[in-house]
Amino acid sequence: MKIAVLSGKGGAGKTLTAVNLAAAAGQAVYIDCDVEEPNGRLFFKPQNIKTADVTTALPEFDPDKCTGCRTCVDFCRFHALVYIKNRPKVFSEVCHSCGGCALVCPGQAVTEKEKIIGKVEIGFHGETQIVTGILNLGEASGVPVIHKALEEGIQQDDPVLIDCPPGSACPVVESISEADFCILVAEPTAFGFHNFCMVHELAELLGKPCGVVINKWEGVYEPLEEYCKEKKLPVLLRIPYEERIAEIVSSGKILVEEYPEYRKKFQELLKKTGGGQA
Amino acid sequence: MRVILPVDEEKDVICATFGRAPYFAVYDTETRTMELKENPASQVQGGAGLKAAQFVLDCQADALITPRCGMNSAEVLQAAEIKIYKSEGMGVNQNIEAFEDGKLSVLTHFHGGYQGIR
């Protein structure tokens, strides 16, 4: 069972929810796909870390074999290749490493060179396996790192908790691609609600069953509750805007390990998603 | 010499952006004729600056007059030794006149792009 946790807006409580679900499950895998800012490790403090590099391929053009026919430049749908002075030139940040230029080149002048863009760290917090995707500073796309983190982390049995990046663009699409269920974490504010609708639309488009966790709950926020009712989205948990919770989280501790009532609540949440036996 | 300018929907006005401009005006200083061409990059999902710069190269332009230009586009244009001048005011004809009188300055600031690359 693979459960993705997403929210659209940053700071809504994705990491809070995903970390505590994994910790409450015990034997589980937590995958941090927020590769530009992976924060789950601040809570788990994983031990016995093993590291694997993540690379992408960039085309190189053999000047002796390239005839300047321009086939590769015209083929590239990302417009990552330009044709200057009868030779192709690649813009690495625009290149999606699809390998198309090498395939279409009639002169076999294109070879692909591996480039390191980040890494995946795998460690343990008790029985919980912690997989962290880390994108190198200055790199344009985290998608290959997310792909590798998912590949490393997804196993057959354990519930897998996927902590998604904010937003609703390519990195989120990649993060939820393998998920059986999406938990949408909602912040009951106008901004939070707006982005919540965007991720819900995305998850629906990809045919993912969804449930809602409302974080920083301070009573009914009408637009959100109405939307959930209208779309038949079950509200699985409400986490109140409470000082004790804020204190535990801001000191880098795990809620279910400090606040026994919440161990039960997160175990119940996991059960509602179909991801464990509470 | 061929000079190219990004042009707005009102075809005598310079477009505020380079890569996403709907049209390009190509002016030939020898024949004193102007040709309007659709920008093939105006609607593409990504890499508009690169595709538009490619178009400028393919038009065999020697110089570009534009209010602004991104870093990727600038890298392509500079590699192809196309000079980039900063436009003054909105009128296409007014800028061609200023260019021919040598009154336009070279564009030296290039922005980092307006949206995520992907």
User: How far does A94 lie from chain B, in Å, by closest CA?
Assistant: 6
On chain B, the residues whose CB falls within 8 A of the CB of A91 are: 47, 50, 72, 75
User: How far does B36 lie from chain A, in Å, by closest CA?
Assistant: 23
User: How far does B83 lie from chain A, in Å, by closest CA?
Assistant: 15
Q: How far is CA A25 from the centre of its chain?
A: 20
Contacts of residue A178, defined as CB under 8 A and 6 or more positions apart, other chains included, come to: A2, A150, A154, A162
SS3 A67: coil
Averages of pLDDT over runs of 10 residues in chain B (118 residues) are 96 94 97 96 92 96 96 94 96 96 94 58
What pLDDT, on the 0 to 100 scale, is given for residue A275? 73
Q: What is the DSSP string of chain B?
A: -EEEEEE-SSTTBB-S-STT-SEEEEEETTTTEEEEEE-TTTT-SS-HHHHHHHHHHHTT-SEEEES--BHHHHHHHHHTT-EEEE--SSBHHHHHHHHHTT-PPBP---B--SS---
Percent of chain A with pLDDT over 90: 93
Q: Which amino acid, A216?
A: K
pLDDT digits (tens, 9 = 90+) for A167-212: 999 999 999 999 999 999 999 999 999 999 999 999 999 999 999 9
Q: B13 near B92, Cβ under 8 Å?
A: yes
Report chain B residues touching chain A, CB-CB < 8 A. 41, 44, 46-48, 50-51, 53-54, 57-58, 72, 75-76, 79-80, 116-118
Q: How far apart are the first and last CA of chain B?
A: 36
* Predicted TM-score of the model (pTM): 0.79
Looking at the partner chain, which of A84, A94, A141 has a beta carbon nearest the beta carbon of B57?
A: A84
Tell me which of A84, A92, A139 to substitute to probe the interface with B (most B C-beta atoms closer than 10 Å): A84
Tell me the pLDDT of chain A (278 aa) as tens digits: 999 999 999 999 999 999 999 999 989 999 999 999 999 999 999 999 999 999 999 999 999 999 999 999 999 999 999 999 999 999 988 899 999 999 999 999 999 999 999 999 999 999 999 999 999 998 888 999 999 999 999 976 689 999 999 999 999 999 999 999 999 999 999 999 999 999 999 999 999 999 999 999 999 999 999 999 999 999 999 999 999 999 999 999 999 999 999 999 999 999 999 876 43
Q: What are phi and psi of A45, to 5 degrees?
A: 45, 60
Looking at the partner chain, which of B44, B54, B116 has a beta carbon nearest the beta carbon of A82?
A: B54
Can you tell me the ipTM of this complex?
0.82
Report chain A residues touching chain B, CB-CB < 8 A. 73, 78-80, 82-85, 89, 91, 93-94, 96, 140-141, 169-170
Q: B40 near B60, Cβ under 8 Å?
A: no
Q: What are phi and psi of A258, to 5 degrees?
A: -110, -20
